[in-house]
Structure 1
Amino acid sequence: MNPELADTTALITGGGSGIGRATALALAAGGCTVTVTGRTERTLAETVEQIETAGGKGRYTVTDVSDEGAVQRAVQVAIGDSGRLDFGVNSAGISGGDNLKPFAEYSTETFDRMISVDLRGTFLAMKYELRQMAAQGFGAIVNIASGTSLVGVPGFAGYVAAKHGVSGLAKVAALDYSPQQIRVNAIAAGLVETPLIAEGRSPEITAARIAAHPLGRIARPEEISDAVLYLLSPRSSFVTGVTMPVDGGYVAR
């Protein structure tokens, strides 16, 4: 039990795998009641099962983050009987894959999908998290962005645009809600070791992606969730409106 987390509540979008799951497990281990959302019930149930097996409290709700009504309901589930929402972690997102295209050849359909899920989904989650936090007068939010929030990547227009937007939303919300003592930050995560990374990707592309990280490897989800917990905690009480790189040196090149 962590005194900083005891009897708190959190909503984590994209909580069925990767960074979202690692963050859910870490928060629950500290005494936070965690609600995870996502599109796949099986993976959400697995996250909650792992939380409960470790002695924590968790629940899930199947949610498409691009659906405003569904997001609003998910926030209410997270608030539950406590009447409060201490933390929001907005991790839901999709990648652009490896089908890179020059800007003028980039698929409009792919672009719209990136914006709908990665950017609109984060906006909607923040909108209803912030309404609750403003009413109660406290809270902390972390958006999971990407190294592509800070730099361009050739052929990746939709993803880069969406992730720059995710970082920008954190800045705006931090300024809007500082008077209510609500802190909002983002993490520019490097490539993270998840099943999605290896799926359908050639060894050559994987090797190139790893080589782009000066530390010579990609991250474990727990390395990102450790940074999330720092930004949610009182230890970062004077930190708001930043996009923190946790990327093995990716954006320092």
Structure 2
Amino acid sequence: MTITKPVNNVRPRPTLSAGIPSSAIVVAVLAGAFFVLPFIALLAGITWSDLPELLTSRSALDALWLSLRTASAATAICIVFGVPLALVLARSNFPGRTLMRSVVLVPLVIPPVVAGIVLTEAFGRRGLIGEQLSALGIDIAFTTAAVVLAQTFVSLPFMVTTLESHLASSGEHYERVALSLGSSKWRTFWTVTLPLLRPGLVSGVVLTFARALGEFGATITFAGSLQGTTRTMPLEIYLAREADPDAAVALSLVLILIAVLVIAVAYFRPKHPHR
């Protein structure tokens, strides 16, 4: 009687150098060092004994709390507007779609200061829309609303591009099946499209929040720098850099830790053991 050993279906993990030239590994190490070394230098430059006092100052707490509130509000707005916009760009074909996509991506490539100037020309007190709103007693520039608007303007492209690429890769098969079975477009959107979109939406939300949290140029141009009103964490770091470099380094550490955390959440994928 012959006993057959069970076949092991678990594939061996590839080694680091499998299929990768040695020269590419060396260059990759240098590239990684280019990114890692500045953060090591930042940690080395911190006076750790002074860190609690620097991080609990009134201005630092005001800036951190304002950044978290405005970035959360901007992210919520990006969800409301970004999901339909990405859906239209990915699943429809209309005249000017390429131009529309290009306009949506413009904030990704222009300097943030230019974005702030664009917003000022549109929503400033003498702007195209802002002047009309000002006549009604509604002022946006140099208010907390201006911070949210600036963060939304520079963050929305991240949401749209993430969702659009996810929609393009998922295809329309399941939606077409649902529609052929008599489901309405609205019900198909809620029961089929959104569940399929969930991984992309999670990544888009986290990346959008991270971008909004780190926004500087458009904010200071369009909203100014008023403590407790428009001075977000990046602005507080910029001002502290001139008056108190140690405080600027400490605040930078906080912002970096938050950014690393949200990016780690965006790219975290749980490993499922082989059964």
Question: Do the two structures share a fold, i.e. TM-score over 0.5?
Answer: no
For the pair shown, which has the larger CA radius of gyration, 1 or 2? 2
Structure 1 length-normalised TM: 0.28
Structure 2 length-normalised TM: 0.26
Indicate the structure with greater helix content. Answer: 2
Which protein, 1 or 2, shows the higher relative CO under an 8 Å CA cutoff with sep ≥ 6?
2
